[in-house]
Amino acid sequence: MTTPPGFKRRTLVKALAAGSLIPLLGSNLIGCSDGSDNSFTLNSVPADFNHGVASGDPLTDRVILWTRVTPTAAEGPVQVAWQLASDADFANIVAEGSGATSADVDYTVKVDAEGLNAGSTYYYRFKTGDKTSPTGKTRTLPQGAVAAASFAVVSCSNYPAGFFNVYREVANQDVDAVLHLGDYLYEYSADGYASERAEELGRVVEPANEIISLSDYRTRYAQYHRDEDLQAAHAAHPFIVVWDDHEIANDSWQNGAQNHNPDTEGSFADRRLAAIQAWHEWLPVRPPTTMDDIIYRRLQYGDLLDLLMLDTRHVGRNEQLDYPDFATGGIIDVPAVRAAMADGSRTILGGEQLSWLRDHLSTSSARWQVLGQQVLMSRYHIPSPLLEALDPGLSPELDLAKGTAALLAAVAAKGKAPEDRTPEEQALLDSAIPYNLDAWDGYEFERDAVLAYAQQLDSKLVVLAGDTHNAWTAQMTTPDGNIAGVEFGCTSVSSPGFDGPGLLGPGNAGAFGPLVTDLIDDLRYAGLVGRGYLHLVFTADNVTATHRFVTTIDSREYSENVAAAKSFVVNRSDMLLS
């Protein structure tokens, strides 16, 4: 793994350790108690709990607890106490402690509550002065024989794009954990991406500028965490979180981003360091304790599944390919694209993380191997004329008429036997290239190697992805056609997908979904309309995945869009989608 210029993990760890992020508050495991509240009283600078509570990164014997206090008087250290109980009334307190937080960590609070029982539900709360936080509910990982595990999978929560009704819906579900696959927030300014209705909805971002500095990122996280629906989801379930690009800047890679201009915005390494520090402060993740700590990690749900959370964005990714670099007059040089995609030196994981993944796949004895990561892994190839009509990087305006014609022609050709196709129809199909070079499709050699390795191991591979703002289900295969697993891509919490303004719009997106599914070999479902989440239930013999949607994000009055839900079942015996 190459460390980018200007980015030193030692600096990051030193900065985080200086704020005593972990352990921040001391703990005292007290087993059973009489429910007295004597130890839960302390004098402190007056402060409020305006940002809710959260938990995350559960293990079999511990879990991260999080909150943030807002001083209401003089600045300075704030004393905070915490309690963990086996019941919602806190009659049986099993652990507690206290300590201080300060401006060094933006008054955030973290506890690594240890010595807990595996597979158990706990309740927690914080107190400072005479103020008590809301109560949160969390759960440790099970161990040994595990019959079932369930998850809500979310990504892409854009504050100005609409209300976080999806988070409210997730809060009401009975799941073991929430997997957040990135784009927890967005970096844009108040007049930036997906902000057309922000003022009308009362959701104009803070600060108004594009966030670049540590103070900027902290302010934006604080605004997100004041959202009542996000607070509800965090309080209801432990979160297992990875970052994607917008936690720093759009289309990030190891040493830069599409949405970063060093001439006007300074060093990308400095910006990334600020963004990562704020991410660690504001999310319920286990902070770095050594120079080698990184966000890819394994969480084991007993003998049922190994959850491998990856970083396909920052730790090792080479810069993305870009279609305008391969186009003349809006026409893509397909052979040149394919040659660049096949470059065996290009990586999305980095060598160190790739070795880590291979090692964990090869040693896993769980029934399922699950990759929680950011971008689509399957092949999503479409004919180049369709891409040329719909890629905004190649033309200032989408040519929907041309794109629709190309899509219909390709689907018609696909439906014919090869010997019945005209040369023009076959040429159209043969021009297929990835629709999204920012995904694993842009790192074809490494993707194919990972899938081939998993297939050789007979891994029961389930890949989860976010990023696209649309819902996907695909049967993953190796280049020679062997089944390598399945992929489920969740839609967004609020960011617009293909149904959004300036893209296809709801009508065209609804029509394109089934056609694209017919066109792409491994694709089984393309849900191009609606915001929602992915619900997963694992058992020893199958996994059931359901794409769920809400009726609207334009109002807090919503319901589950039951008619739009789409479910799939995968049997472990053959790994086929049905």
Is 167:547 a contact under the CB 8 Å cutoff? no
Is 441:379 a contact under the CB 8 Å cutoff? yes
Half-sphere exposure of 463 (CA within 13 A, CB side): 29
Ordered alpha helix ranges (H), 392-443: 400-414, 423-430
The DSSP 8-state label assigned to residue 458 in this structure reads T
Is 495:519 a contact under the CB 8 Å cutoff? no
Counting DSSP H helices and E strands in the chain, the numbers are 14, 30
Predicted pLDDT at 46? 77
Alpha carbon distance 384, 373 (integer Å): 27
The token pair at 282 is 């504001």
The DSSP 8-state label assigned to residue 256 in this structure reads E
Give the DSSP H or E segment for 278. helix 268-282
Per CATH, the number for 1-141 is 2.60.40.380
Q: Could you tell me the CA-to-CA distances from 59 to 54, 139, 151, 182 in Å, in that order?
A: 15, 9, 15, 21
Alpha carbon distance 20, 65 (integer Å): 15
Half-sphere exposure of 172 (CA within 13 A, CB side): 9
Alpha carbon distance 250, 143 (integer Å): 38
The C-alpha R_g of the chain, in whole angstroms, comes to 24
Alpha carbon distance 126, 109 (integer Å): 9
Look up the pTM and report it.
0.94
Q: Could you tell me the CA-to-CA distances from 420 to 185, 235, 384, 416, 417 in Å, in that order?
A: 50, 59, 22, 6, 5
Predicted pLDDT at 41? 55
Q: Please give the backbone phi and psi of residue 301, each rounded to the nearest 5 degrees, phi first.
A: -95, 70
Is 388:330 a contact under the CB 8 Å cutoff? yes
Q: Please give the backbone phi and psi of residue 372, each rounded to the nearest 5 degrees, phi first.
A: -100, 110
Q: Please give the backbone phi and psi of residue 83, each rounded to the nearest 5 degrees, phi first.
A: -140, 145
Q: How many residues does the chain have?
A: 578
Predicted pLDDT at 40? 57
Closest CA to 357 of 292, 443, 450: 450
Residue ranges per domain, the chain? 1-141, 323-524
Closest CA to 64 of 310, 299, 255, 224: 299
DSSP 104-166: GGTTEEEEEE-SPPTT-EEEEEEEETTEEPPPEEEEPPP-SS--EEEEEEE----GGGS--HH
Is 75:103 a contact under the CB 8 Å cutoff? yes
Predicted pLDDT at 290? 55
Closest CA to 269 of 528, 5, 74: 5
Alpha carbon distance 246, 182 (integer Å): 8
Closest CA to 183 of 135, 252, 96, 254: 252
Give the DSSP H or E segment for 279. helix 268-282
Work out the angle between the directed axes of helices 505-519 and 400-414 (0-180°, nearest 10). 30
Is 105:19 a contact under the CB 8 Å cutoff? yes
Is 260:275 a contact under the CB 8 Å cutoff? no
Work out the angle between the directed axes of helices 9-18 and 268-282 (0-180°, nearest 10). 40
| pLDDT tens for the 578 residues of the chain, in order | 333 333 334 444 444 443 334 334 544 433 333 344 445 556 677 789 999 999 999 999 999 999 999 998 777 899 999 999 999 999 999 999 999 999 999 999 999 999 999 999 999 999 998 999 999 999 999 999 999 999 999 999 999 999 999 999 999 999 999 999 999 999 999 999 999 999 999 999 999 999 999 999 999 999 999 999 999 999 999 999 999 999 999 999 999 999 999 999 999 999 999 999 999 999 999 987 654 568 999 999 999 999 999 999 999 999 999 999 999 999 999 999 999 999 999 999 999 999 999 999 999 999 999 999 999 999 999 999 999 999 888 877 889 999 999 999 999 999 999 999 999 999 999 999 999 999 999 999 999 999 999 999 999 999 999 999 999 999 999 999 999 999 999 999 999 999 998 889 999 999 999 999 999 999 999 999 999 999 999 999 999 999 999 999 999 999 999 999 999 999 999 999 99
Is 347:277 a contact under the CB 8 Å cutoff? no
Alpha carbon distance 231, 237 (integer Å): 10
Predicted pLDDT at 76? 83
The token pair at 536 is 């997963």
- Residue 509 burial by Cβ neighbours in a 10 Å radius (0-12, 13-18, 19+): buried
